[in-house]
Structure 1
Amino acid sequence: MLAWICQLLGGVPDPDVILTNATIYWLTNTAASSARFCYENHHAEPDGEPTAFPLGLASFAHDFRPLRRFAERGHKNIVSLGECDPGSHWAPDATDLLGEDLRSFFRRVR
């Protein structure tokens, strides 16, 4: 579980953050359901036609970087695909960048 948490949190250098997250998953017995969600998303085939609604994607440092060609398999109206270098796996770690990315997306779809 610690290896999985370290992968999720990427380059978080603070062991207290890693241990706190692992403890929460362990004590609430939610690691399996969270891992299953990740597994099923990874192995899922897109259903039917790609979605047509406007979509914005953002990724942060130490997180999976979405590739446009993979995103387009399930979505045909990708308005923005932002990559932010600071932050971590959790977007709220970079609230200013997340806020600007959201504002930029909604300016484009007005």
Structure 2
Amino acid sequence: MHNHRPDTIGAALTDSPVGQLAWIAEKFKRRTTGGYRAPDVDRDQLLTNVSLYWFTRSGASIAQFYYESEHSGAGMSMTPGVPSGWAVFDTHPLMRRAMDPWRAIGHWSEFTEGGHFPAMEEPKLLADDLRTFFRSIS
């Protein structure tokens, strides 16, 4: 997943707009049979997303978050009694077993389409799922 140590990738994410672009563009790649394919997103959307990380200098901190989340050994914690919902896009079928082994998440949706940025890649699927979740708790 995100195995880059933040101290090794952080410089590229804060010192080079090309490094930031490469890191984010990699997140847009989607698995296909036999490899990966380039993202199907508008160039302006991609550059806007990269710019948000670049101009706020937050690339290294998000890399740190990913690294710590993956290597902390701490499990997921869900606050009891608080409605929660997850929509996962283009992920492994074992995702729920790993992220929600006790079935504590009340609303769980898996989509084969989309990827790391579903609001840009599959906005209708995400919006419909959000509507479904909020209707279920109102």
Same fold (TM over 0.5): yes
Change (3 A) 1:59 1:72: closer
1:86 aligns with 2:113: yes
The CA distance in 2 between the partners of 1:97 and 1:19, in whole Å, is: 19
Structure 1 unaligned segments of length 5 or more: list them. none
| TM-aligned CA distance change 1:24 to 1:80, over 3 Å | closer
Taking a change above 3 Å as real, the CA distance of residues 13 and 98 of structure 1, as seen in their structure-2 partners, is closer
Q: For 1:7, which of 26, 34, 46 is the aligned residue?
A: 26
Q: CA deviation at 1:84?
A: 2.2
Q: 1:57 aligns with which of 86, 101, 104?
A: 86
Amino acid at match of 2:104: N
Structure 2: give runs of 5+ residues left out of the alignment. Answer: 1-18, 30-37
Say which SS state the counterpart of residue 46 (structure 1) adopts: coil
> Quick one: structure 1 residues 100 and 4, their matched pair in 2 at CA, closer, same or farther if it must change by over 3 Å?
same
From 66, 71, 75, the counterpart of 1:38? 66
Q: CA 1:107–1:77 in 2, change beyond 3 Å: closer, same or farther?
A: farther
Q: CA deviation at 1:32?
A: 1.1
Cα distance, 1:22–1:89 mapped onto 2, change above 3 Å:
same
Percent identity of the aligned residues?
Answer: 33
Match for residue 135 of structure 2? Answer: 107
Deviations 1:43-99 (A, max 9, x none): 23037x6432222111223xx4572222225x7531222122333321212221111
Distance 1:104-1:24 versus aligned 2 partners, 3 A rule: closer
Compute the RMSD of aligned alpha carbons: 3.2
